[in-house]
């Protein structure tokens, strides 16, 4: 009870005021805006939205993934995803291949053109992430990742970790 708010002493329990927590909440809000700002500009030019970006990102991350798997990662309905996926396939950014073992499944891959757009989007986002990391320093990066992981829903944390390790 005698502790002060401003400085965290580093080893004992955290003294967390509502004010501090609210600051964290607002930091998340503003930071997420910055986080999406650069890709959004590119997407606008091409006539796509964030939903397309997410699809491209995770198809790049896990080439050959099925629609169902993508659905689970993105957490939207198949109708929502399908609308986005259809335009990407029509525009020649994504390829949908019938599964070998299970021919009901569709395996998704980026075409060269799709990979190119994904790369541009990712480069923009990584650029901001890199400069944020650089200006915050290595220890801050560790903390950043730690807090983010703890903030995820458990299911998503597992999915995230398995994505990180698995492949």
Partner DNA sequence: CTTGGAATGTCAACAAGGCTGACGTATCCT
Partner DNA sequence: AGGATACGTCAGCCTTGTTGACATTCCAAG
Contact between 167 and DNA by CB under 7 A: the answer reads no
For the window 89-108, what string marks contact with its own copies as x by the rule CB under 8 A? --------------------
Instruction: At 78, give phi and psi (nearest 5°).
Output: -65, -30
| Rounded CA separation 130/2 (Å) | 39
Min separation Cβ 11 and DNA, Å: 41
Residue 29 vs 139, nearer CB to DNA: 29
Contact between 80 and DNA by CB under 7 A: the answer reads yes
> Which of its own copies, DNA, none does residue 61 bind to, with CB < 5 to 8 Å depending on kind?
its own copies
- Which chain residues interact with DNA by CB under 7 A? 47-52, 54, 66-68, 71, 75-86, 96, 98-99, 101-106
């Amino acid at each position: 009870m005698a502790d002060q708010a401003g400085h965290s002493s580093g080893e004992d329990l955290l003294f967390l005021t509502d004010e501090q927590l609210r600051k964290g909440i607002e930091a998340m809000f503003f930071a997420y805006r910055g986080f999406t700002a650069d890709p959004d500009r590119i997407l606008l030019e091409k006539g796509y939205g964030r939903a397309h970006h997410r699809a491209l990102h995770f198809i790049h991350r896990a080439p050959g993934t099925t629609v169902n798997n993508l659905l689970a990662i993105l957490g939207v309905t198949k109708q929502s995803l399908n609308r986005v996926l259809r335009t990407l396939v029509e525009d020649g950014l994504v390829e949908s291949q019938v599964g070998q073992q299970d021919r009901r499944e569709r395996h998704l891959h980026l075409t060269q053109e799709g990979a190119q757009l994904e790369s541009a989007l990712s480069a923009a986002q990584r650029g901001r992430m890199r400069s944020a990391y650089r200006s915050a320093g290595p220890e801050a990066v560790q903390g950043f990742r730690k807090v983010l992981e703890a903030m995820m829903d458990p299911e998503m944390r597992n999915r995230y970790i398995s994505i990180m390790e698995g492949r």
